[in-house]
Structure 1
Amino acid sequence: MKEIVNAIVSGSARPGDYASLAVPESYRGVVVLKEETQLFDGLATADKDPRKSLHLHDVPTPEPGIGEALVAVMASSVNYNTVWSSIFEPLPTFHFLERYGRLNDLGKRHDLPFHVLGSDMSGVVLRTGPGVTAWKPGDEIVAHCLSVELESPDGHGDTMLDTEQRIWGFETNYGGLAELALVKANQLMPKPRHLTWEEAASPGLVNSTAYRQLISKNGAAMKPGDNVLIWGAGGGLGSYATQLTLVGGGNPICVVSSPDKAQICRDMGAEAVIDRHAEGFRFWKDERTQDPREWKRFGKRIRELTGGEDVDIVFEHPGRETFGTSVYVTRRGGSIVTCASTTGYLHEYDNRYLWMSLKRIIGSHFANYREAWEANRLVAKGKVHPTVSVVYPLEEAGQAAYDVHRNLHRGKVGVLALAPSEGLGVRDPELRARHLTSINRFRAENS
């Protein structure tokens, strides 16, 4: 593994050099264990601690099959699906691996008593399987997390509709929180040359998700001038939604939970910001009863910030806590686009405000390859920037997931894998220099 790292850090190794490097028989990966799926039984979701369930183990190195690539992972990051996996909610991810294992011989390799997690990475291609022509050993890449089979006609208009669509590192094994990772070659994209390994690893899942949700015709198809309500605008997903709204000529109304996150949104260029804790918004009277008076107060606050206009689009991902409010505040004919439910899956809303005002609820899940490629292209051009706030070593991935679970973070939490330190991997220092302030905006030392 040391020789692999030395070749990558040198910046001068050629494809033949990588092809001649020996691939180790095993590597270190952050795993959950099948034998521990009942570890948190009886505990409330908030009390389940990823630091107790995430382990750094040696795992056997898989051989890349047809259309696959084995990648040396320099850095990764934590997404909320890693949190779900680590606390075994809404169900242990081994159910996903078992189902994949029944599909075909390549799928069988994923059905194991351990699950290597992680749905983001930056790194270097080490080996490619039969049939791979677009990528070669030595290519510096990032990966999106869509894994598809495309044997069904359903996925050929939009690969996200493939009947065997999976999220890599969540519904498959050999994810990115590891020293090596196994991916399909059609998950690979060029690494943005002006970013470090840890910066390049952070946008993949959330930036692509936000792109489909907001920009794509498969989502809200945002147009210039649209008012976009963004929940959690200072977090991993919301921070990219804010940037994409601004790049696309929209007007973000950023909802945050603290003054420092409010300031970050203003620094990104957002003018309309609501600190819902500071303004005392409580959308539920108790666990079973929402408060329509708070919906109305929230709608009034939005109109104060938009010159009297309601929002055209709501960027939804908290779920249960906010969904009733989202439906209420959306303008007549507007859209609520949802991609997650981090506060609970069982949403409640007053349907009168949906059907009588001709509003739409749109389900959006990750992104297809084209959407992920376009989202990555915006990063590579310096139009959208990484939002890394803190970086942990692989040994402390449990703490990284704990931070995300308890909402102790801003932006994205990065994890170093093979990269020996932060700050490595920049190939275009001139482009980096032009955007350095924006790249470092979420860094903890800037708070």
Structure 2
Amino acid sequence: MQHILDAIQAGDTSAEDFANLELPESYRAVTVHKDEVDMFEGIPSKEKDPRKSLHVEDVALPELGPGEAYVAVMASAINYNTVWTSIFEPVSTFGFLERYGRLSELTKRHDLPYHVVGSDLSGVVLKTGPGVTKWNAGDRVVAHCLSVEMESADGHNDSMLDPEQRIWGFETNFGGLAEIALVKSNQLMPKPEHLTWEEAASPGLVNSTAYRQLVSKNGGDMKQGDNVLIWGASGGLGGFATQYALNGGANPICVVSNEEKAEICRKMGAELIINRSDEKWQFWNEEGTQQNPKEWLRLGKKIRELTGGEDIDIVFEHPGRETFGASVFVTRKGGTITTCASTTGYMHEYDNRYLWMNLKRIVSSHFANYRESWEANRLIAQGKIHPTLSRTYTLDQVGQAALDVHHNKHQGKVGVLALSPSEGLGVLNTELREKHIDKINAFRGV
């Protein structure tokens, strides 16, 4: 891979020279193994250790198909879907690969006894397959993680509704935590050139997810002046939701777990902040079997203290079971609860009287379509939305990185260097970078 890295770092390698680079037969990648899916059986979720299941090894370069591209991965990032893959919860991802493999002769490539994981990347196009006209070898790119076949009419109004919609690197193989990734060419977007490789790689999944969930008409359809309750407002998803609320003229009410996280929200420009450690809400009894509506009332009172008596227009919901009943309750009449992820549990419970009799809406949201992803990346490139990168690991440290995310020992996003030999490389637009450097570094070192 050294000759590929040399060509990238040279800075003046032509598209023709990139296209003529000899590609290796194999490359280093982070994998999970099919014969290890039962390794954590009987162990509580929080005690499952991704360092034991994530392997860094050489894998064969897959065949390049029509409409696809090889990308030399300079950097990637850790998402919760990598954590879920590594602990084989809620299901093993090999079931996804098996089903995808049955779709066509070409998709059989994905059904392997190992799964190359990762749903983010920044890097350089090495080669494109037949039919690709928009991208060329040598293009500096980032990739969103929507993989669609687009052979059904269902997806042509919103590609997230395609019956063959999948998340690349989670429900498909050959993901971004590797030296080379295989992507569909319509996953590619221009790299924001004021960012380093690791900074540019980090927003992809969560930035697009937050855009659809909060801004898009497919999600919250946020408008100026809306009061937006954001759980985990300094986290991977919440950090972007907070920025979108501020950038769009809304009023984010940021819920965080400690003062350090509250300070991150202030750095982003938020003023209305609730520290859960101070409030000590107990939305559920100790057994986790019954909710306490009095605590919902207390949350609503705290919100109105901050907003001057107004209730919430949109709740940005992703914790799930722990908070969902409270989220439904505190939303104003006619308001919206947008939901994804459910990191504290998928089985939500809420009092339907407060939803039905007050004409509230629950809107499900999952990643983003190509247009939404492009718009979200465009805002990053313009310096209006910024990465939330706090720490960067190497490819060999991915197990530890995933463990830290699993145990919530991180802030914002955690980056991973693949081919890039060090942090800080890849910037071309220094003027725009200097203009926004404080915002770019808001999460660093936290």
TM over 0.5: yes
User: What are the residue-to-residue correspondences of 1:370-381 with 2, within 5 Å?
Assistant: 370-381=371-382
Q: Distance in 1 between matches of 2:240 and 2:401?
A: 20
Secondary structure of the residue aligned to 1:182 is: strand
**Separation (CA, whole Å) in 2 of partners of 1:282 and 1:385:** 34
Structure 1 residue 81 and structure 2 residue 81: aligned? yes
The 5 Å alignment of 1:4-153 reads 4-153=4-153
SS of residue paired to 2:278: coil
Gaps of 5+ in 1: none
CA distance in 1, matches of 2:309, 2:64: 56
Looking at structure 2, the residues matched to 415 and 9 of structure 1 have their Cα atoms a distance apart, in angstroms, of 18
Match for residue 188 of structure 1?
188
AA of the residue aligned to 1:5 = L
Distance 1:272 1:372 in 2: 28
| Structure 1 counterpart of 2:436 | 435
Matches within 5 A, 1:397-412: 397-412=398-413
Number of equivalenced pairs:
445
The match for 1:426 is 427
**Match in the other structure for 2:271:** 271
CA shift digits 1:221-261 (9 cap, x unpaired): 00000000001111111000000111111100011111111
2:183 is paired with a residue whose SS is strand
- In structure 1, what is the equivalent of residue 229 of structure 2? 229
> Structure 2, unaligned stretches of length 5 or more?
none
SS in structure 2 of the partner of residue 289 of structure 1:
coil
The match for 1:395 is 396
Structure 2 residue aligned with 1:308: 309
CA distance in 2, matches of 1:280, 1:110: 46
Paired residue for 2:207?
Answer: 207
Shift of 1:423: 0.2
**Counterpart-to-counterpart distance in 2, 1:105 and 1:229:** 46
**Structure 2 CA distance for aligned equivalents of residues 282 and 273 of structure 1:** 19
User: What is the letter of the counterpart of residue 46 of structure 2?
Assistant: A
Deviation per CA, 1:273-314: give whole Å up to 9, x if none.
Answer: 111122212211121111111111011101111111111000
- Give the AA of the match of 2:82: T
* AA partner of residue 186 (structure 1): N
What is aligned with 1:156? 156
SS at match of 1:218: coil
Q: Give the drift of 1:207.
A: 0.4
Q: Take 2:247 and 2:130, find their aligned partners in 1: how far apart are those partners?
A: 39
Contact persistence 1:313–1:337 (CA under 8 A):
yes
Find out whether 1:346 has 2:341 as its counterpart: no
What TM-score does the superposition give when structure 2 sets the normalisation length?
0.99
Aligned equivalents of 2:258 and 2:27: distance in 1?
40
Q: Alignment partner of 2:426: what SS?
A: coil
Q: Secondary structure at the match of 1:348?
A: coil
| TM-score using structure 1 length | 0.99
* Letter in structure 2 aligned against 1:308: G
Q: Provide the identity percentage.
A: 70
Give the CA RMSD over aligned residues: 0.7
How far did residue 385 of structure 1 move? Answer: 0.4
What amino acid sits opposite 1:55 in the alignment?
Answer: H
Instruction: Please report how far the alpha carbon of residue 14 of structure 1 lies from its aligned counterpart in structure 2 after TM superposition.
Output: 1.1
Structure 1 residue 63, shift from structure 2 partner: 2.3
Q: Which amino acid aligns with 1:311?
A: I
The one-letter code matched in structure 2 to 1:33 is H
Deviation at 1:44, TM superposition (A): 1.2
Q: Secondary structure at the match of 1:96?
A: helix
Q: Secondary structure at the match of 1:284?
A: coil
Q: Is residue 63–residue 70 contact of structure 1 (8 Å, CA) maintained in 2?
A: no
- 1:369 paired residue number: 370
**What residue in structure 1 maps to residue 284 of structure 2?**
284
- Output the CA distance in 2 between the equivalents of 1:174 and 1:282: 42
